[in-house]
Structure 1
Amino acid sequence: MPEPTIAPAAADAALSAEDAKLVTLARSARARVGAAEGAAVRDQDGRTYAAASVALPSLSVTALQLAVASAAAAGASKLEAAAVVTEASNLDGAGHAAVRDLAADAPIHVAAPDGTLLGTVTQ
């Protein structure tokens, strides 16, 4: 699968209140444990799930994969949107694929650690 392309955010880009909440939750999850990434997703019922990346000797999971797994484990069958807070310049393919397992068209907002929107992946 090719690298997901992040459409750069316009200078005046603003997220909806619901999507801004996802960025806030992702930032909090990342900061709470000092992880490389934080992520949050919103399911079809408006429930949110936040997670941080995990890097153990025997287990490595991206924040977005873990947030999607938490949603799926709670019974979510569709995602409305996702957000990732990262210092990386691109969205990881595994996290992107996990979101696409539950939503072919949900936007994935990518933000810097300070919450600045870097762009959105829509495909």
Structure 2
Amino acid sequence: MNFLELFLSDLSAEDAKLVTLARAARARTRAAEGAAVRDSDGRTYAACTVALDTVELTALQLAVAMALSSGVKGLEAAAVVTDAESVNIDVVRYFAGANIPVVHAQGTGEVRDVVHS
């Protein structure tokens, strides 16, 4: 499904909230991308890209790391906001397994795609 066929209003309220949190995380620091994840208890974690000389983490890697450091046992969904054509969801697949939905949205909030781990 391309971003012209799927809109933020087409998502569940919980998934739309993830996109909103990811957009806010990205906007706060003007980062390349923002991400948010929802754990199996419904708690959310949002992060932005970290790009330093000594460490580089994608927003999704950092959001998952924040969830892990809080002791979560699983993820329900994730969202990544970026102007990039694609997103790397390996960290979600590694931690949460298959079939976790990851919403890929543009900075404007337009949904580009929903992929599954």
What is the TM-score when the length of structure 1 is the normalising length?
0.88
Deviation at 1:101? 2.1
Equivalent-residue separation in structure 2 for 1:8 and 1:75 (angstroms): 35
- 1:97 is aligned to 90
Q: Name stretches of at least 5 consecutive residues in structure 2 with no aligned partner.
A: none
- 1:114 is aligned to 108
Q: Name stretches of at least 5 consecutive residues in structure 1 with no aligned partner.
A: 1-6
Contact 1:42 1:48 in 2 (8 A): yes
2:55 to 51, 55, 59: 59
CA 1:87–1:9: 2 relative to 1, 3 Å: closer
Contact 1:77 1:102 in 2 (8 A): no
Contact 2:6 2:112 in 1 (8 A): no
User: How many percent identity over aligned positions?
Assistant: 55
RMSD: 1.3
How do 1:22-41 and structure 2 match up within 5 A? 22-41=18-37
Equivalent-residue separation in structure 2 for 1:47 and 1:18 (angstroms): 11
Equivalent-residue separation in structure 2 for 1:85 and 1:22 (angstroms): 10
| Runs (4+) off by over 3 Å | none
Match of 1:91, SS?
coil
